[in-house]
Amino acid sequence: MPSPYDPLKNLKVLESKPITVRRFFEKNRLRLRFTSANGLENSARLIPEKNLHRPGLALAGYVELFTYHRVQVFGNTEIKYMESLSHAEQLQAFARLFQFEIPCIVVTNGNTLDPELVAIATQHDVPVFYSRYETTKAIYFMSDFLDDQFAPKTAIHGAFIDVYGVGVLFIGRSGIGKSEIALDLVERGHRLVADDVVVVTQKGEGILMGSGTDLVKHFMEIRGLGLIDIRAIFGIRAIRFQKRLEIIVQLEEWDDAHDYERTGLDTREVPVLGVQIPHVRLPIFPGKNVTVITEVIALNYLLKHYGYDAATEFSNKLKTRLEEKARDESDDRAIDWFEHDFE
């Protein structure tokens, strides 16, 4: 029977808000080696989506399908086209872009714009940034950042731990002991990613990344004790800022009426943001060592990842043994005979 508490049911996708050009510049300034051509790097203009645009057709006069609301990228093609025009034609072609609300312009490959063109952009309060990177590399970095900013996200109540390099998310009703188990795992050398609120972001097809919130970070609430700072107590080795979500462990009170998984042959998965994630329903009761069981869950996941499935292996051995019994060739002992060592 299904658990009465299902924290994964009806997860809400968090709405992605437009980001400012100021944030875009600040977060990419070092890795893209951005410089501002007109001093408008603190602009509050908004970038409403993740896609970029090459405005070659718009410069040539065709603006019917001009996606002006995107970051405009001037690579070698756009620059060479502008250089092929007379000075007056350059001014006319460039000014045509500013009939629309452009967020900003990024010029790549170490190219620069004529000062009069920069002045037109400044007149319309449109920031112009230069990058020394070639267009392909610059677009890759900008797309990576914008993909992350506008990626589907959701918030899950739980505790997220890196156990032997496997991202394990504990979920369950409030007060069931998620934080206490996470604390025990940290004490055993594993790493806390987030407690209480875990922000899960879809990165590419089939990949979910989890992190904490900016406010909580690596603080943890232990009932009866209060708030503790995992980083301050255990040091930098005890935390991570992000981790791929690979397993969800749902903690629930033991129910004698429920038929829990005993062989591991039936792998259960649950959808999170459209991605199927392995799901383990773990019944708990006083005295049960959930910490060690979690470590085994992580190690078993790694074994499966590298091609070894203990449940399938045992099933195959059982099938072979039954076939041998049918032929009267089997022995119930684990060894064929006792050697001359009677320890």
Catalytic residues, by residue number, are 157, 178, 196, 262
Identify whether the C-beta of residue 180 lies closer than 8 Å to the C-beta of residue 284: no
Residue 105, strand partner residues: 72, 128
The tokens 């009761």 sit on which residue?
285
d(CA 106, CA 287): 60
Contact residues for 28 (Cβ-Cβ < 8 A; gap 6+): 34, 141, 142, 145
Spatial distance between the Cα atoms of 245 and 227, rounded to a whole number of angstroms: 25
Residue 14 has what DSSP assignment?
B
* Dihedral in degrees, nearest 10, Cα atoms 26, 235, 160, 18: -10
Q: Containing H/E element for 88?
A: helix 87-97
* 250 strand-pairing partners: 171, 281
- As given in the structure block, the two tokens for residue 337 are 């005979």
Determine the angle formed by the axes of helices 135-149 and 21-28, rounding to 10 degrees.
120
Looking up tokens 């991570």 gives 240
